[in-house]
């Protein structure tokens, strides 16, 4: 045995014959723990273990001790609380995971020996993989909480306060969760290609003020990442020709793009005083967090004009508060009216009056708001003037998500649209049947998965009423249950809007739908 050991240490050029390696020596060389456990009498006693397993058991020899006692009575975190009994009872391997008092995670696989009460157990240290999974889950949760506020909290905050809160949360999670102390986020101005600073922590003032554009050369790592849409890991800032000094004394940096629906909207850069301070795992974690940051920025509309006046915000708040309740009145009135058509003309007439009055409520609020704050109204008129094709258009939005319906009101009505909403396909079909002449909808935006039908089924339903259905399907990115989008495209519906959508994407899609409807 000693000769074999010496041969292994010397790394002899000539291969040793197979019988030169006894099985015990091979097991000792394995990177995983290997244990022979005797389960006779209900006890799990260790009869033999290799050196790797012994390192997890402290200074005492594990042989002769109970398996779990030797490991310090770890917690069984699943999935099998009694793997040895399961293996013996079923005659096949059983697996589970343990967490030791030191925070180590061990995955064990117990395999029964034929004709006895003994099992061979292989034990692998999976601490690194599980901690990475836990950190990944924590990063995702943190990303979801970036701009997560209760409606009451949002109502009390200005746009700038929301921006400041988002910045504070980004810095907090970057430090406490990702352990990045130096960071910089820039947003890409799609019109000029300039990368505008959003926040910086630990960067030199001259670096913060540096003018950068989304170009692959002569604009540092940040400009290169924004231009290419690919992450960049700089292991040694002193040797990298792209690097421009951001943090004084930084020896390495990691920069990832802020991506929203495959479009670069900015960059997220972190720096370290140590050479090679970032790993490929750090890159993956930062990319995941950056996607959530991009979504949060989009949710708060930080990529569009953020300097709306207090008066304009007041008008939108008042209008937003009544928009969905009025839609509920419209839906209920239409539903009741359909039951009485052909039976009681007086009831139908009264319900039609309710419909007219409900629709007038929103118009009255808008007019009163314009009278109270003429400067704000003029600003909105100028904004709507940039999208003349939308002015006066009637839009029906069909989505079970109240936030989506409220957002459609808030965004489209800024540009002169009249928006009404429905919660499911049945309500939408009723609203379309009740809309005639000037009340007919110019565009219908529908989620592909409604509570009562798919987007494609809604299309078929509406084709019973309309010769041309001006339908736009909405979906979470990459999600198409029942292949609604494919089927709708085969039926001539080509427009798809991915959620969460940016304002310009929403407006462009509605304008294309209007153009297609005119052509039809």
Give 461-504 pLDDT, tens digit per residue: 999 988 888 999 888 755 666 677 788 788 777 788 888 778 88
Do 39 and 89 form a contact (C-beta atoms < 8 A)?
A: no
Cis amide prior to 79 (ω within 30 degrees): yes
Do 195 and 266 form a contact (C-beta atoms < 8 A)?
A: yes
The CA distance from 394 to 478, in Å, is 28
Q: Three-class SS of residue 410?
A: helix
The alpha carbon of 453 is separated from its chain's Cα centroid by a whole number of angstroms, namely 25
The C-alpha angle with vertex 331 and arms to 487 and 468, in degrees rounded to 5, equals 35
Question: What is the mean predicted confidence (pLDDT) over 166-177?
Answer: 79
- Who has greater pLDDT, 436 or 366? 436
Residues whose CB is less than 8 angstroms from the CB of residue 125 and which lie 6 or more positions away in sequence, other chains included: 32, 56, 104, 105, 106
Dump pLDDT digits (tens) for 36-87: 999 987 789 999 999 999 999 988 899 999 999 999 999 998 899 999 999 9
- Label residue 20 by pLDDT band (50, 70, 90): low
Q: E strand or H helix at 195, and its extent?
A: strand 194-201
Question: What is the mean predicted confidence (pLDDT) over 215-238?
Answer: 95
pLDDT of amino acid 70: 93
The whole-model pTM stands at 0.44
Q: Which domains does the chain have, with CATH numbers?
A: 14-125 (3.30.450.20), 133-299 (3.30.450.40), 312-519 (3.40.50.2300)
Dump pLDDT digits (tens) for 178-192: 788 899 999 999 899
Q: Three-class SS of residue 287?
A: helix
pLDDT above 90: residue 155: no
- Who has greater pLDDT, 193 or 301? 193
pLDDT of amino acid 186: 94
Q: What is the mean pLDDT of the chain?
A: 82
pLDDT above 70: residue 324: yes
Classify the C-alpha dihedral 300-301-306-311 as positive or negative: negative
Question: What is the mean predicted confidence (pLDDT) over 270-288?
Answer: 91
pLDDT of amino acid 48: 93
Do 495 and 469 form a contact (C-beta atoms < 8 A)?
A: no
pLDDT of amino acid 127: 87
pLDDT of amino acid 417: 87
Dump pLDDT digits (tens) for 423-467: 999 999 999 998 877 889 999 999 988 999 988 899 999 999 888
- Label residue 309 by pLDDT band (50, 70, 90): very low
Phi and psi (nearest 5°) for 318? -65, -45
| DSSP one-letter code for 479 | -
Give the residues across from 420 on adjacent strands: 396
pLDDT of amino acid 9: 40
């Amino acid at each position: 045995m000693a000769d074999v050991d010496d041969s292994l240490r010397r790394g002899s050029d000539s291969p040793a014959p197979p019988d030169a390696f006894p099985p015990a020596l091979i097991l000792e060389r394995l990177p995983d723990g290997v244990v022979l456990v005797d389960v006779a009498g209900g006890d799990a006693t260790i009869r033999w273990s290799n050196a790797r397993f012994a390192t997890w058991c402290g200074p005492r020899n594990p042989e002769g001790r109970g398996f779990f006692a030797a490991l310090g009575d770890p917690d069984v975190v699943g999935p099998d609380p009694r793997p040895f009994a399961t293996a013996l009872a079923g005659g096949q391997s059983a697996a589970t995971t343990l967490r030791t008092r030191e925070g180590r995670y061990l995955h064990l696989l117990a395999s029964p020996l034929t004709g006895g009460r003994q099992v061979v157990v292989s034990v692998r240290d999976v601490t690194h993989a599980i901690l990475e999974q836990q950190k990944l889950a924590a990063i995702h949760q943190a990303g979801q909480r970036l701009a997560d506020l209760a409606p009451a909290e949002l109502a009390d905050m200005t746009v700038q306060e929301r921006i400041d809160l988002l910045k504070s949360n980004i810095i907090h999670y970057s430090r406490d969760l990702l352990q990045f102390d130096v960071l910089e986020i820039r947003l890409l101005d799609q019109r000029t290609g300039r990368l505008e600073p959003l926040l910086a922590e630990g960067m030199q003032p001259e670096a913060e003020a540096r003018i950068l554009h989304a170009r692959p050369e002569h604009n540092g790592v940040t400009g290169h990442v924004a231009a290419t849409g690919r992450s960049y890991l700089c292991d040694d800032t002193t040797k990298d020709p792209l690097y421009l000094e951001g943090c004084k004394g930084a020896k390495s940096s990691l920069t990832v793009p802020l991506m929203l629906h495959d479009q670069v909207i900015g960059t997220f850069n972190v720096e370290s005083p140590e050479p090679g301070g970032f790993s490929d795992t750090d890159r993956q974690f930062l990319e995941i967090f950056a996607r959530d940051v991009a979504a949060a920025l989009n949710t708060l509309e930080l990529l569009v004009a953020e300097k709306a006046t207090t008066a304009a915000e007041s008008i939108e708040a008042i209008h937003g508060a009544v928009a969905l309740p009025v839609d509920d009145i419209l839906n209920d009135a239409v539903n009741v009216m359909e039951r009485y058509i052909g039976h009681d003309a007086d009831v139908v007439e009264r319900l039609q009056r309710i419909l007219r009055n409900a629709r007038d409520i929103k118009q009255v609020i808008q007019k009163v708001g314009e009278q109270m704050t003429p400067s704000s109204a003029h600003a909105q008129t100028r904004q709507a003037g940039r999208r003349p094709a939308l002015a006066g258009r009637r839009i029906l939005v069909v989505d079970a998500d109240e936030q989506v319906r409220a957002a459609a009101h808030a965004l489209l009505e800024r540009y002169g649209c009249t928006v009404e909403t429905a919660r499911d396909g049945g309500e939408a079909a009723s609203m379309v049947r009740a809309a005639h002449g000037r009340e007919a909808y110019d565009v219908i935006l529908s989620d592909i998965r409604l509570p009562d039908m798919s987007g494609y089924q809604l299309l078929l339903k509406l084709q019973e009423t309309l010769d041309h259905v001006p339908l736009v399907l909405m979906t979470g990115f990459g999600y198409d249950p029942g292949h609604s989008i494919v089927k709708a495209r085969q039926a001539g519906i080509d427009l798809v809007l991915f959620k969460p959508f940016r304002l310009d994407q929403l407006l462009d899609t509605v304008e294309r739908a209007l153009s297609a409807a005119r052509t039809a």
